[in-house]
Amino acid sequence: MNYEIGKDYIKVFDKRQFNPIHILECGQIFCYNREGDIYKVYPLDQYAEIEEKEEYYIIRTQNPDFFANFFDLRRNYDEIKSKLSKFSIMKEPLDFGEGIRILNQDLFEMLISFIISANNNIKRIKLILGNIRRNLGEKIAENIYSFPSYQKLCTASEEFFKQMGAGYRAKYLVNVLKQTNPQKLIELQTLDSINLRKELLSLSGVGPKVADCIMLFGYHRGDVFPVDTWVQQMYCHFYENLENREQIRKNLLNEFGDLSGYAQQYLFYFSRTNLKNL
């Protein structure tokens, strides 16, 4: 893709392959804010601001290399979209979510974030994670705090996570911090998707859907299809009435193969914002 890296910025010229609104609002990330025309993004302990210019988007950051990888800039999404466009069901979602990219997010942050996401809504997920950041993280910008380190999170109690709003998921968080750590998650990268999924499923608070989200947004696996309530509604609307999410997942994986992860994100974004009006 056409982009330019400077000392403290990245300019992205191909607006059809990079739309910060769709990238950030499509449900894959919880650490961002919009202030006027500027998007502020703060994965892990990094920080960037994105603004649209006439000929390009500019990402202002002290760590452009990190965000070039974070925004998956080296991947050509024209190819992916071209292949996906052969599926008739993808026509509208591709148009609606033009410029979506699958982010390369931190494994440990994905684990914690998507445990909290279970049976929850995005607004409240952002709220809970923001509470945890504000209480355990370090200030990295005005009113913005870093994602806490593993060591810092380990000092937190179940009662603390409940106070942050995590509800009954507080117990899962305390448990999972004992089961694994960031380094162990990195070491799982070498596993094939079947065994990686098996390992993730052994963790507290990680079921089929959460495991698939971690694999897609953290490990960037294309051969996963997270099935949540929106995907299920989408499937019942466009394919057939099925209540078994595991069966839905298998069918969609069989349909989209290694492009499943990308297809899922377009379909999820489209369904969550439009399906209720169809």
Partner DNA sequence: TTCCAGGAGGGGG
Partner DNA sequence: CCCCCTCATGGA
Cα 162 to Cα 151: distance, rounded to the nearest angstrom: 19
Q: Which of 226, 249, 262, 263 binds DNA (CB under 7 A)?
A: 226
# chain residues binding DNA, by CB under 7 A = 39
What HEC string does the chain produce? CCEEECCCEEEECCCCCCCHHHHHHCCCCCCEEEECCEEEECCCCCCEEEEECCCCEEEEECCHHHHHHHCCCCCCHHHHHHHHCCCHHHHHHHHHCCCCCCCCCCHHHHHHHHHHCCCCCHHHHHHHHHHHHHHHCCEEECCEECCCCHHHHHCCCHHHHHHCCCHHHHHHHHHHHHHCCHHHHHHHHHCCHHHHHHHHHCCCCCCHHHHHHHHHHCCCCCCCCCCCHHHHHHHHHHCCCCCCHHHHHHHHHHHHHHHHHHHHHHHHHHHHHHHHHC
C-alpha to C-alpha distance for 129 and 163, rounded to whole angstroms: 12
**118 lines the binding site for DNA (CB under 7 A):** yes
Site for DNA in 28-87 (CB under 7 A): 28
What the block records as the tokens of 83 is 């292949």
| Closer CB to DNA, 10 or 209, in the complex | 209
Residue type present at position 106: D
Residue number with CB closer to DNA (153 or 227): 227
Q: Which is nearer to DNA, 43 or 165 (CB)?
A: 165
- Stretch touching DNA by CB under 7 A, among 47-55, 132-140, 149-157, 204-212: 204-212
Q: Which window, 13-21, 23-31, 88-96, 149-157, contacts DNA (CB under 7 A)?
A: 23-31
Q: Does the protein bind DNA through residue 119 (CB under 7 A)?
A: yes
Pick the binder of DNA from 17, 46, 117, 180 (CB under 7 A).
117
Region near DNA per CB under 7 A, out of 24-32, 44-52, 54-62, 76-84:
24-32
Of residues 10 and 136, the one with the C-beta less far from DNA: 136
The least distance separating DNA from the CB of residue 252, rounded to whole angstroms, comes to 11
CB of 56 to DNA, least distance (A): 26
- The CA-CA-CA angle for residues 43, 229, 113, to 5°, reads 20
- Is 131 or 149 the residue whose CB approaches DNA more closely? 131
Burial degree of 171 (CB within 10 A; 0-12, 13-18, 19+) = middle
Among 50-58, 65-73, 82-90, 224-232, the segment contacting DNA (CB under 7 A): 224-232
Task: Spell out, one character per residue from 235 to 264, where the chain touches DNA: x when CB under 7 A holds, - when not.
Answer: ---------x-------------------x
Residues 143-182 that bind DNA (CB under 7 A): 162, 165, 167-168, 172
Rule CB under 7 A: choose which of 23, 46, 265, 270 binds DNA: 265
Site residues (CB under 7 A) for DNA? Answer: 26-28, 117-125, 162, 165, 167-168, 172, 203-211, 213, 226-231, 233, 244, 264-265, 268, 272
